[in-house]
Structure 1
């Protein structure tokens, strides 16, 4: 198992995994699923070394992205000491391996190396099973709220109940 940055060559597989994840979300959570993401967003994340992949036997088993600021979602003032994890998508061939826990371990080391205090994540929709899963992976559940301004964000944030999760690396 290896975690590394995604590359431009990975873009078709990234979009395949997003499509499969969205299809899964439609089946399990018909009220809320990811929109189709644009290639420019993914290309920028790759260019900025913020898109990651977990490889097993040279196959992409899981992908995710990070950002260092998330002001519209988290009401940050820019002084934040966090990394934010977004869009975890698992290859169905590797489902059931608890990749979130592996990503959290990786994110803890990555965040500390970047001198960040928090790992943060959000998800849309009030999904008790997912909330409990993230709590088991080490996140504190901070609550649910609607965003003040979701303009410019992907459509799944528009008028959605957003769940907030955080790990304080200093506690």
Structure 2
């Protein structure tokens, strides 16, 4: 696992395009042509919060881990009321799916949290994103509730993992 660089942007955006196609085929419109975009990932890279899993010199997947909770999270009853690591913008390259990359990315996020003495991870996904729902649950995340983000018609399921 390594931190992403600006040189990775084109490959990341190619993975996003393929991921959006896959999401749309399942009636999941969580991501689109506007989000996440090049600037979103530039900010993640400049903030040192975007991580890459490489296999054979190719980006197999990526994950953003930071501490920025969206205001909609305030509506939910989380298990802990303390600083949390937050998973955003995670995707696995379609060429590398079904190889455990998603699990490795989430386990890496847990390592980051533990290294920073953080005991709580939060995340969310579109309510129709069954693949992510299954992955989060498999990795020990529990659903906390649903929120609706500004500009989105559908709800998003929020999850937490308490690391203690």
SS in 1 for 2:52: strand
1:169 lines up with 2:159 in the alignment:
no
Deviations 1:6-34 (A, max 9, x none): 00000001110111000000112x25230
Q: Which of 121, 133, 136 in structure 1 is aligned with 2:135?
A: 133
> Are residues 141 and 92 of structure 1, via their aligned partners in 2, closer, same or farther at CA, if it must alter by over 3 Å?
same
Equivalenced residues, count: 157
Asked if 2 retains the 8 angstrom alpha-carbon contact of 1:126 and 1:163, the reply is no
1:108 shift after superposition: 1.5
> Are residues 38 and 130 of structure 1, via their aligned partners in 2, closer, same or farther at CA, if it must alter by over 3 Å?
closer
Say which is worse superposed, 4-13 or 83-92, in terms of deviation.
Answer: 83-92
1:134 shift after superposition: 1.7
Asked if 2 retains the 8 angstrom alpha-carbon contact of 1:69 and 1:80, the reply is no
> Are residues 57 and 116 of structure 1, via their aligned partners in 2, closer, same or farther at CA, if it must alter by over 3 Å?
same
1:87 & 1:66 partners in 2: Cα distance?
9
1:43 corresponding residue in structure 2? 42
Deviations 1:91-148 (A, max 9, x none): 111010122221222111110111211111100124455423321121112122334x
Asked if 2 retains the 8 angstrom alpha-carbon contact of 1:81 and 1:115, the reply is no
Which residues in structure 2 correspond to 1:1-171 (within 5 Å)? 3-28=1-26, 30-36=27-33, 37-75=36-74, 80-128=82-130, 130-147=132-149, 150=150, 155=151, 158-170=152-164
Asked if 1 retains the 8 angstrom alpha-carbon contact of 2:61 and 2:105, the reply is no
Gaps of 5+ in 2: 76-80
TM-score (norm 2): 0.85
1:62 shift after superposition: 0.3
TM-score (norm 1): 0.82
SS in 2 for 1:75: helix
